[in-house]
Amino acid sequence: MTGPSSPALRAEALEQLLTERGLVRTDVIDGFVARYESDVGPLNGARVVARAWVDPEYKARLLADATPAIKEVAWGGGANGEHIVVVENTPERHHVVVCTLCSCYPWPVLGLPPSWYKDPAYRARVVREPRAVLAEMGLELPPEVAIEVHDSSAEVRWLVLPERPAGTDDLTEEELAALVTRDAMVGVAKIAAP
């Protein structure tokens, strides 16, 4: 969307209005943006996934007790990061995450939740018909792949460890992290081979 109501233009207009009225300083807004770009967000989750792909011992710790394992690699604490459970996608089983009650979400490792995650239609339908919802989102899974839906709550947040794409054996951990998407860590997408 590029018209006058695009989210970027609305955000810019809101920032200008707030700063002109002295309600918030520009450096405060810049600080929040920088934090979510570098300290909180999908980059953290991507680093966790990449480490698990290259380090079997780390992967075992991550799957056994994710919260402390995440903190080894990326900032994972604070609100919505206290108790995270990681489940691994395999060729036989695919995991997808939802919060049926509201929009519980592991912000420290995935950043801000996408609008579709909070949408009542996604929250209701992915539990009843996950294969159809995933297909609508562009992820067609073969019928022999079992789909398991995990419901996040105030007590536990879920993170999907996506399958490592074929042809990535020669990539570094940093290069692997660059392939990982937020949607793959929620389970609504797979990671494409480079």
The residues that are catalytic are 99, 102-104
Rounded Cα distance between 52 and 70, Å, is 10
Rounded Cα distance between 176 and 76, Å, is 20
**Half-sphere exposure of residue 138: CA atoms within 13 angstroms, side-chain side:** 6
Contact 180/192 with Cβ under 8 angstroms? no
Rounded Cα distance between 9 and 66, Å, is 38
Residue type, 79: A
Q: For the chain, how big is the Rg over CA atoms in Å?
A: 18
Rounded Cα distance between 182 and 102, Å, is 19
- Give Cα separations from 20 to 4, 8, 25, 32, 33 (angstroms): 20, 18, 9, 18, 19
The answer to whether the Cα torsion of 129, 130, 131, 133 is positive or negative is positive
